[in-house]
Amino acid sequence: MLLLPTPRKSLYFLHPQTLCRQSQHNFRSLWLTRVCGKSDVPAAATSWTLVRMQIRRIRMPSTYFVLSVVFFLDMGVCTAVQSEMRITTIKQEPYAMSKGSQLEGFCMDLLSEIAKKLGFKFRVQLVKDASYGRQDESGNWNGMIGEEADLAIAPLTLTAAREKAVGMTKPFMQTGISILLRKDISEGIGFFDFLSPFAVETWVGILVAYLGTAACIWVVARLSPCEWSQPQSEQNRFSLLHSLWYTAGAFTLQGAGPHPKAPSGRVISCSWWLFTIVLLACYFSHLSSSKTPESTHLTVKGFEDLANQDTIEYGCLAGSSTLAFFKNSNNPVYRRIYEHMERTKSFVSSMDEGVRRAKEGNFAFIGESVSLDLAVARHCELVRAHEVVGMRGYSIAAALGSPIIKNLSVAILQLSEAGELAYLRSKWWASSCMADKAKSSAVQQHGLKGMFVVLSLGLGLGALLAVLELTAKSRRSAAEQKKSCCTVLTEELSLRLRTSNANKPQENVDKDKEKA
C-alpha cells in the first residue's frame, strides 16, 4: 500500500524541487569542506557542527569515502524522483478514457496542467482492481487508495475515512448525491400534458396553417364569381368571422355551414380536411402511446418521494462513498433508502450499469450529481432530480503527510481562479442531445412537413382557380360592354375587395346602371 505513509515516501514524495535541492546543497557543502577544503556557503550558514564532531572520531580516509558516496547517491536518488511520477487512475467517462494507447479526459487534462505548474513528469497507470478504494474489516484498503503509486487522480470523493489513510488536496470539483431517472418517471402529469404529442414548433405551424386557410377561404369567396355572383346586390356569405368559424369546425370534424359552392373554395376545403384528418390521427396516436401502462408517470422529485414508493427499484454503486453516506446517516429517510437497498441487493457494479438500468425505466440510479449530469448530457431520455444532498468534493490523493499536498492544492486553486477548471468542465460535459432531438417522443414539425406542403399547394391552387374564374367572367363582361378585359377586371377586383360596397342599396345600383 504505497499511498499509505512510509519513511522513504514521506521524505521524497513528489517534492523534487524542494527536498532534493536542499539535500544536494547540504551534502555538496559538506563534501567540499571535508574533501576539497572548500565551501560554497558561508560558515555561519552551515549547520554541520555536530556532524563534524562525529566525523573527527573516525579516520579521515573513511570520512572522505563516506561523504563522497553519500553525495553521489543522493544526486542519483533525487534525479530518479524528478524523472517520472507514477499516477494511478480509473477508467470512467469523461475523467479518463482510452484513446489508442493513451488516456484522455478531464483528469488527464487537469494532471497535465498541474504538472506544468509544479514541474514534474508522470506516468499514468490504471488501477488494477478497477476500484476507487474501500477499507475492509481488517483495515486494509483496496483500489486506488491501496495502489502502489505516487498520486491518485480520479473522481475520488473526499471522505473522513480516506482523509485518515491518505493525504487529500483541495477539491477540484464539487458534487453531491442525487437521483437519475427516466423523464416519464421523474415528471408528473401536468395541466398541459395534452399538448405533449406535438412539439412547440408543430403547434405554431398548425396555428399559422389555420389562420392562413381561413384567410384564403375569405379571399376566394370574394373573388370567385361562382361564390359571389352579384357583389352589387348580394351579401357575401363568407365574412372573415365565418371563414374562421368554418375552418375551426372543419378542424374538429364537425363542419359549419354554409359550405363553399365554387370549385376554388372546394379545393381549399378538401385540402384543409385532408390536413386535419392526418393531423388528428397523429395526435391521438402519440397521445395514446404516451398514456400506456408502461409509463408509470410516478412523480419522483427527491429522496423522500423515492423512499415513499415501491413501484420502481433504486440502488447505487456498490462499495462507493454514496452507499457509505446512506449507511452512516441518522436521517430516517436516508436510513430507509439504505435498508431497502441492502434488503433487495439493488446495487450496481459500475456507473454504466446504473445508467443502463435507469434508461430501461424501472430503476432509479442514486449517484454523484456530477456523474449524473454527464449521463443526462449523453442520454436525452434521462433527467436528474433537482434535490442534491451530501455535498462533497473530488480531490487528488497522495501519501499521508506528504509536503506535495500543499503545492497541489495551491495549483488547483490557481486553475480554479483562472477559469481553467470551468473550461475543462464545459469541454468534457458538452451535451450531445442536440443531435438526438429527432428521437424525442414529441412529433416535430418536420414529421408533418409533407402535410404542410400539401395544404400549401391546395391553398395556392384554390386561389389560382378563383383568379381564373374572375378573369373568365371579366372577359365575357368586357365583350358585352365592349371594354378592355383589364379595365373590367380592375373594376371587378375593386368592387369585390371593398367591403363598403358589399351591401350597396339596390337604388344606387340602378342609378349606376343608368349612368353607364
Residue entry with cell 427516466: 182
Residue 230 region by backbone torsions, left for phi larger than 0, else alpha for psi between -120 and 50, else beta = beta
β partners of residue 182: 382
Residue entry with cell 371579366: 474
Annotated binding residue at 155? yes
Which DSSP letter does residue 166 get?
A: S
Could you tell me how far CA 77 lies from the centroid of its own chain? 48
Q: Where are the beta strands (DSSP E) in 68-116?
A: 85-89, 97-99, 102-104
Annotated binding residue at 171? no
Annotated binding residue at 514? no
Annotated binding residue at 162? yes
Nearest to 379, CA basis, from 331, 432, 343, 457:
432
Amino acid at 297: H
Annotated binding residue at 6? no
Annotated binding residue at 157? yes
Could you tell me how far CA 248 lies from the centroid of its own chain? 40
3-state secondary structure of 327: helix
Could you tell me how far CA 384 lies from the centroid of its own chain? 10
Q: For residue 41, how many other CB atoms are within 10 A of its CB? A: 13
Tell me how far apart the alpha carbons of residues 276 and 267 are, in angstroms, rounded to a whole number.
14
Tell me how far apart the alpha carbons of residues 296 and 306 are, in angstroms, rounded to a whole number.
14
Please provide the size of the chain in residues.
Answer: 516
Query: Which grid cell sits at 491?
Result: 373594376
Tell me how far apart the alpha carbons of residues 438 and 388 are, in angstroms, rounded to a whole number.
30
Q: For residue 494, how many other CB atoms are within 10 A of its CB? A: 10
How do beta strands 173-182 and 382-384 pair?
Answer: antiparallel
Q: Where are the beta strands (DSSP E) in 288-371?
A: 313-316, 363-368
Amino acid at 168: M
Rounded to the nearest 10 degrees, the angle between the axes of helix 263-290 and helix 200-223 is 160
Q: Which residues are annotated as a binding site?
A: 155, 157, 162, 321-322, 368
Q: Which residues are annotated as a binding site for L-glutamate?
A: 155, 157, 162, 321-322, 368
